[in-house]
Amino acid sequence: MSNYKFETLQLHVGQEQADPATDSRAVPIYQTTSYVFRNSQHAADRFGLADAGNIYGRLTNSTQDVFEKRIAALEGGVAALATASGAAAITYTIEALAQAGDHIVAQKTIYGGSYNLLEHTLTQFGVTTTFVDAHDLEEVENAIQKTVESSTRKEITMSSLTDKGLIVICDSLAQALQTINVIAPEHLELHVSRPMELLGQIRNAGAIFMGEWTPEAVGDYVAGPNHTLPTGGTARYASPLSVDEFVKKSSVIQYSAAALKNDARAIETIADHEGLWAHAQSVRLRMELMEQGRVPANASSTGTSAEQAKD
């Protein structure tokens, strides 16, 4: 249903057809924890993930499955996971991203439950947090430096941040996009829920990493595109290295007599300006042939074309 708009997605994703058991248009609420298997092989296939379907309420539920598909479609995600509380969702997210020894920089005014999770609970698992005022650049920078302390490339990282690092606070998303196009970064990570909506507004960037789950490393090592990218702001006029750089091409141009007559004056003017007499003369002689009526019968039957022929 990728072609449907937001309003339709929120009503129908996950249940494009009526409920097969009751023909209900609305999503039925399945209040069950357990599911029946046809036989032992069917159960083995379900638990072995060879057969897609419900296993146990703690893992899957048909009502919840529709909800998750709907949220994923509305947010532009691949999939979604529903939890019983916001605290559970935040905990799952951090557990997926952080491990013992990692350091988090967080806004100091976050909700109390989230604050206690970061300040007290996660510290027991080796994950520490520094709370900052996100609008205080010096405070944010100092917190980042604390994170760098655990880096195996500490000196290189600190040197890079000191010499080239920059934190820019923008008043709006539109201003942030304008800033991106001015800086023309080699790598750009879009940490937003709907990155595709912004993509068309980004003109200058070497490689663009879409969404929270696409760190730069995936592009460098696994995703596929070459990570030889335009650096130092050259993304304003240059592109990433690609197979096109190694494809031999020829420009193929063909004019009819009528097309040449139409462009003759412009060609002659430019050639004369450059002092290339023979270039201008090659057109003038052909114009003289036309004036004398000495144009081949098929000279006007071919249109103007300019194409790239690839080997």
Token pair listed for 256: 């009819």
Cβ atoms 210, 269 nearer than 8 A = no
Please report how many Cα atoms fall inside a 13 Å half-sphere around the Cα of residue 249, on the Cβ side: 11
Check if 186 is active-site.
yes
Q: Which residue in the list 187, 216, 268, 279 is annotated as catalytic?
A: 187
Distances (CA, A) of 100 to 84, 115, 305: 26, 18, 63
Please state, in angstroms and rounded to a whole number, the distance separating the CA atoms of residues 205 and 198: 13
Please state, in angstroms and rounded to a whole number, the distance separating the CA atoms of residues 92 and 274: 68
Check if 245 is active-site.
no
Please state, in angstroms and rounded to a whole number, the distance separating the CA atoms of residues 141 and 166: 9
Distances (CA, A) of 108 to 136, 140, 222, 258: 11, 11, 36, 73
Please state, in angstroms and rounded to a whole number, the distance separating the CA atoms of residues 276 and 55: 80
Instruction: Tell me which residue of 275, 296, 272 sits closest to 284, measured CA to CA.
Output: 272
Active site amino acids:
186-187
